[in-house]
């Protein structure tokens, strides 16, 4: 845990003690604040970290509260157990409504969750919560029966959840949430299943919201439909956007806005609905600034881009071990590939072969179909005809992330690293398995990367592009497809990259396919060239011969 | 069955009108506008309040539509001014904040109880065989026909329409060609706001019409637009009528009558399940 976070947790503990000394009314308000903070944290997971819009967080809370109420009336399950069961009950519900929305990109989750919130509210919640009609409130066990004891309990639950969510930031799953927020394509290219990652974020957020509901039910005795209206989900979401719910500090701020702020307005005789209006304005302002919430503005400043980048030089040392079995020289083969967009033929009967340990260059004018071919091989575009195989394995029909896991990695024309991660964490995420610090440092040194702890957003584009290649290499792939790796690099950087790419097959046991316009780089690096023009192969062979041929000159220069 | 179908036409037309507004703002300006129906409801309530205060019936209705157009145009200004370069998800998130803001402002101004809304064209009735069409129905269906025709004509035949299609496909290119992008974007928003105001006003006399319930008309509209893939105006219109028909058929079966609000949700789920047959990736490489 970082120092700032420790201070924050300490302050919460101190504030809890303080409120425990005040009259019970204040303890009640503080409990409300912690419950709201939990709800806002749930927005922080799904929106703040995974970048999806969910508009039914309060409905999940209602489900948690409903189950807690039901268990209280119908069984002898002790309250803390009921609380966890209630939160768990929200998870499968979240999965069921999330599944259809999450395989598609965009704001579908917002649409389906809004519909869900209204449907559950008008069908289930409106009929009353268990225990409400018979006046049978949720009983809180002795220690937490009073307002003060309960407030301490809500504080403890919040702190445990906040600490757990903070801990996930260091895990692979937490890094994957950041990745999916940034780019779904790049996430799949890292070998991660995009639907699974999104679903996990949504499920965790449903759990946290369910906990909040179970606490609310115990705080009030039982819920009624008025406590968990669809509009409350909107309010919680907008507060989450405003404060930066993925930060612990942001969640706490959100809790204060959800609980103490209305009380303040009440005491000032200002209508309470001024609150949501201010939150809406605040959230719009934050979004217009391109920011990730108030907490980010109040907390540590981001270091300026291009800050202290430590460049490590290679120190010789032992060559990297090969994962690929050197005895088995695999061949990646795309044969008879055809892609059509309506009447336009993007690729026609294209055959390409790369062997492990070799470098194939793919060149051709803009629009020749080079990147489309990379998309086809890596599973981002389904061809209309043709087949892709590695050795004996047929890849047709396999989704992109499965191909990445089979050892076929790629980069994109525009870099798609994950800005919020540290360089080392990015490599670990990309590696897909274990990667110790020595390996991280070695990789970073190989391609002139920054210090492992440098955040990705702080390094320049050229370094990010190389980081992306390092990430691919960290996964020990059998084949690596680079889409214009030298684009946007300076001439010096480009020369240096060429030098390093030359070493890649030997060092990492990889077969490389390089799409590139930089003819010098291609000539210096590749063992073989394939030339595409209007979707057809118009030349192939050794670089010298191909580059000297008339067909190629014609395709490129029109002479 | 025919009775049910006829009776669902008013709602269906309103859903279709709202859905088409969503499709247009999505296609033209890249925003999924969650504030669409609440803006319409705001216009409708302005009309009701004006009418109750003694403003003439027609004038009040026109005022309501104008207020919805202004409000929506204002959102368009915000979008064009601060969010022109942002991703769809960011801009849609902004409309969620605006949805909340307009909803709460409306609560304050209009309260949360249903009002008596005078039916539109009360004297008008059209008998076709055994079937009677009310003024509301005629307005709703006629409105859809006019809108669909106008949109098709506008996008295919007018210079501005062609420009707008260019804008939706290549905003930066359009701007480089000297297209006054902001003005056009704001105009699209204002028109879609006016249509929303009209649609909500048509439907308001026929159902529970407290302000929040009218704002929730966003759900059938979203469901219709989703079935149109946020692209096809025709499919959205058909879906709007279809959703209303299913709702009303449900409402006539006593056992499920109270669950009518679930219909849009179920349609959304079904549409999403159908759409995810094939994997779709985010922006081009």
Alpha-carbon gap: A458 to the closest alpha carbon of chain B (Å) = 21
Instruction: Give the pLDDT confidence score for residue B282 in this predicted structure.
Output: 57
A54 chain-B contacts, CB cut-off 8 A? none
A37: how many CB neighbours lie within 10 A of its CB? 31
pLDDT of res. B169: 67
Say yes or no for a CB contact (<8 Å) between A185 and B96: no
Contact A297/B at CB under 8 A: no
Q: Which two tokens stand for residue A507?
A: 């060092």
Residue B85: how many other CB atoms lie within 10 Å:
10
| Cα radius of gyration rounded to whole Å, chain B | 19
Size of interface A-B (CB pairs under 8 A): 135
pLDDT at residue A313 is higher than 80: no
DSSP code per residue over A371-416: HHHHHHHHTSS--SEEEEEETTEE-TT--HHHHHHTTEEE--SS--
One CATH from 1.10.3470, 2.30.30, 1.10.287, 1.10.10 for A3-298 = 1.10.3470
3-state secondary structure of A322: coil
Helix, strand, coil share (%) of chain B residues, nearest 5: 75, 5, 20
A96 part of contact set with chain B, CB < 8 Å: no
Mind listing the pLDDT tens digit for each residue in B4-29?
888 888 899 999 999 999 998 888 88
pLDDT tier, A211 (very low <50, low <70, confident <90, very high otherwise): very high
- CA distance linking residue A365 with residue A533, whole number of Å: 7
Q: What is the pLDDT of residue A323?
A: 44
Contact (Cβ atoms closer than 8 angstroms) between residue A238 and residue A283: yes
pLDDT digit string, tens, across residues A386-398: 999 998 899 998 9
Neighboring chain A residues of B268 at a CB cutoff of 8 Å? 111-112, 115
Structure confidence by residue, pLDDT tens digits, A375-387: 999 999 999 999 9
Mutate to test the interface with B, among A111, A236, A371 (most CBs of B within 10 A): A111
C-alpha to C-alpha distance for A534 and A335, rounded to whole angstroms: 17
Nearest to A136, CA basis, from A85, A74, A80? A74
Across the interface, of A119, A185, A290, the residue whose CB is closest to B265 is: A119
Structure tokens belonging to residue A338:
């055809």
Which chain A residue's Cα is nearest to B223? A111
CB A221 within 8 A of CB A138: yes
Chain B nearest-CA residue for A414: B285
Which of A185, A230, A234 has its CB closest to that of B96? Answer: A234
Q: What is the pLDDT of residue A352?
A: 94
ipTM above 0.85, yes or no: yes
- For chain B, residues with pLDDT lower than 50 are 284-285
Query: Could you give the percent of chain A with pLDDT greater than 90?
Result: 63
Which band of pLDDT confidence, cut at 50, 70 and 90, is reported for residue A215?
A: very high
Residue A294 is encoded by which pair of tokens?
A: 């108030």
| Neighboring chain A residues of B100 at a CB cutoff of 8 Å | 231, 234-235, 238, 276, 279-280
> What are the pLDDT digits (tens) for A325-377?
444 689 999 999 999 988 889 999 999 999 999 999 999 888 889 999 999 99
Query: Is A311's pLDDT higher than 50?
Result: no
What is the residue extent of each domain of chain B? 2-112+120-218
- The encoded tokens of residue B241 equal 């009528």
> Read out DSSP for A138-160?
PPPPGGGSSHHHHHHHHHHHHHH
Task: Read off the pLDDT band of A530 (50, 70, 90).
Answer: very high
Residues 213-242 of B with CB under 8 A from A: 216, 218-219, 222-223, 226
Pair of tokens at residue A103 = 């395989």
pLDDT in tens, A58-96: 999 999 999 999 999 899 899 999 999 999 999 999 999
Q: Which residues in A501-519 are b (16+ Cβ under 10 Å) and which e?
A: beebbeebbbbbbbbbebe
Residue A329's pLDDT is: 82
Is B39 within 8 Å of chain A by CB?
no
What's the pLDDT score for residue A304?
39
- pLDDT at residue number A264: 93
Q: Is A110 in Cβ contact with B32 (below 8 Å)?
A: yes
The model's pLDDT over A412-432, given as tens digits with 9 standing for 90+, comes to: 988 889 988 999 999 999 998
DSSP annotation of A547 reads H
Q: What is the pLDDT of residue A549?
A: 86
Q: What's the distance, Cα to Cα, between the start and end of chain A in Å? A: 64
CA trace torsion B211, B212, B216, B217 (10° rounding): -10
* Average pLDDT along chain A: 88
Query: Which residues 205-224 of chain A have a CB within 8 Å of chain B?
Result: none
Which chain B residues have a beta carbon less than 8 Å from that of A483?
285
Residues on chain B touching A105 (C-beta within 8 angstroms): 280-282
Which tens digits make up the pLDDT trace of A466-507?
A: 999 999 999 999 999 999 998 888 888 888 999 999 999 989
The confidence band for A308, taking pLDDT boundaries of 50, 70 and 90, is very low
Query: What average pLDDT does range A228-246 have in this prediction?
Result: 95
Inter-chain touch A277–B105, beta carbons under 8 Å:
yes
Tell me, yes or no, if B87 comes closer than 8 A to chain A by beta carbon: no
A310 pLDDT above the threshold of 70: no
Residue A26 exposure: Cα atoms within 13 Å on the Cβ side: 9
Q: Which CATH number fits domain A331-557: 3.40.50.300, 3.40.50.150, 3.30.70.2740, 3.40.190.80?
A: 3.40.50.300
Chain A residues within 8 A of B94 when measuring between CB atoms? 283-284, 287-288
Among all chains, which residue has been given the structure tokens 């009624």? A224
């Amino acid at each position: 845990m970082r120092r700032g976070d420790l201070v924050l947790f300490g302050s919460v503990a101190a504030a809890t003690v303080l409120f425990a000394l005040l009259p019970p009314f204040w303890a009640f308000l503080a409990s409300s604040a912690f419950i709201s903070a939990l709800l806002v944290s749930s927005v922080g997971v799904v929106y703040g970290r995974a970048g999806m819009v969910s508009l039914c967080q309060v409905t999940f809370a209602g489900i948690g509260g409903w189950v807690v109420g039901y268990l209280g009336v119908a069984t002898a399950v002790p309250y803390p157990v009921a609380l966890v069961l209630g939160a768990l009950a929200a998870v499968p519900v979240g999965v069921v409504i999330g599944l259809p929305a999450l395989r598609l990109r965009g704001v579908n989750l917002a649409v389906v969750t809004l519909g869900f919130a209204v449907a559950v509210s008008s069908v289930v919640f409106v009929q009353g919560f268990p225990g409400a009609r018979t006046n049978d409130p949720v009983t809180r066990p002795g220690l937490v029966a009073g307002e003060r004891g309960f407030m301490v309990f809500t504080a403890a639950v919040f702190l445990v959840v906040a600490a757990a969510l903070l801990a996930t930031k260091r895990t692979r799953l937490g890094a994957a949430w950041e990745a999916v927020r940034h780019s779904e394509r790049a996430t799949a290219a890292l070998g991660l299943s995009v639907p699974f990652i999104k679903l996990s974020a949504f499920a965790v957020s449903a759990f946290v919201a369910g906990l909040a509901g179970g606490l609310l039910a115990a705080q009030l005795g039982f819920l009624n439909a008025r406590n968990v209206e669809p509009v409350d989900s909107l309010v919680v979401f907008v507060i989450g956007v405003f404060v930066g719910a993925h930060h612990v500090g942001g969640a706490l701020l959100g809790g204060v806005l959800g609980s103490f702020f209305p009380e303040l307005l009440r005491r000032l005789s200002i209508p309470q609905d001024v609150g949501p209006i201010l939150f809406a304005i605040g959230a719009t302002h934050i979004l217009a600034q391109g920011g990730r919430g108030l907490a980010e503005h109040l907390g540590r400043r981001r270091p300026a881009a291009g800050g202290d980048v430590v460049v490590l030089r290679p120190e010789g040392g032992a060559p990297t071990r090969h994962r690929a079995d050197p005895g088995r020289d695999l061949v990646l083969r795309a044969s008879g590939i055809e892609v059509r967009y309506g009447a336009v033929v993007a690729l026609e009967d294209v055959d390409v072969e790369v062997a492990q340990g070799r470098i194939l260059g793919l060149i051709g004018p803009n629009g020749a179909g080079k990147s489309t071919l990379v998309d086809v091989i890596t599973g981002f575009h389904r061809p209309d005809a043709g087949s892709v195989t590695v050795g004996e394995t047929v890849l047709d029909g396999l989704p992109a992330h499965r191909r990445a896991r089979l050892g076929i990695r790629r980069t994109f024309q525009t870099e798609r690293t994950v800005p919020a991660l540290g360089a080392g964490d990015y490599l670990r995420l990309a590696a897909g398995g274990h990667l110790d610090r020595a390996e991280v440092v070695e990789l970073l040194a190989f391609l002139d990367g920054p210090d492992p702890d440098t955040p990705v957003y702080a390094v320049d584009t050229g370094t990010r592009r190389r980081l992306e290649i390092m990430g691919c290499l960290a996964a020990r792939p059998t084949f690596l497809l680079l889409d214009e790796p030298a684009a946007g690099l300076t001439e010096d950087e480009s020369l240096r990259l060429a030098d390093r790419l030359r070493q890649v097959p030997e060092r990492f046991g990889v077969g490389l396919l390089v799409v590139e316009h930089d003819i010098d780089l291609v000539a210096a690096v590749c063992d073989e060239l394939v030339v595409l023009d209007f979707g057809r192969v118009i030349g192939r062979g050794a670089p010298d011969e191909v580059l000297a041929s008339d067909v190629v000159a014609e395709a490129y220069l029109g002479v | 069955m025919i009775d049910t179908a006829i009776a669902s036409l008013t709602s269906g037309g309103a859903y279709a009108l709202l859905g088409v507004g969503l499709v247009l703002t999505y296609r033209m300006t890249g925003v999924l506008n969650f504030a669409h129906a609440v803006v319409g409801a705001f216009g409708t309530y302005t009309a009701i309040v004006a009418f109750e205060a003694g403003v003439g019936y027609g004038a009040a209705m026109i005022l309501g539509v104008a207020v919805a157009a202004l409000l929506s145009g204002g959102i368009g200004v915000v979008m064009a001014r601060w969010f022109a370069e942002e991703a769809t998800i960011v801009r849609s998130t902004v409309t969620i904040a605006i949805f909340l803001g307009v909803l709460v402002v409306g609560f304050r101004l209009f309260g949360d109880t249903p009002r008596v809304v005078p039916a539109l064209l009360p004297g008008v009735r059209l008998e076709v065989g055994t079937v009677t069409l009310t003024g509301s129905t005629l307005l709703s269906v006629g409105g859809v026909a006019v809108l669909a025709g106008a949109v098709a004509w506008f996008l295919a035949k007018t210079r501005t329409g062609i420009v707008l299609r260019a804008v939706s496909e290549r905003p930066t290119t359009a701007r480089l060609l000297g297209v006054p992008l902001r003005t056009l974007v704001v105009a699209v928003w204002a028109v879609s706001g006016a249509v929303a105001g009209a649609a909500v006003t048509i439907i308001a006399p026929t159902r529970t019409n407290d302000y929040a319930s009218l704002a929730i008309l966003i759900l059938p509209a979203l469901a219709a637009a989703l079935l149109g893939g946020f692209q096809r105006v025709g499919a959205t219109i058909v879906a709007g009528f279809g959703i209303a028909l299913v709702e009303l058929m449900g409402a006539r079966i006593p056992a499920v009558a109270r669950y009518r609000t679930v219909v849009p949700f179920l349609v959304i789920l079904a549409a999403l399940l159908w759409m995810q047959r094939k994997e779709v990736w985010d922006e081009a490489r």
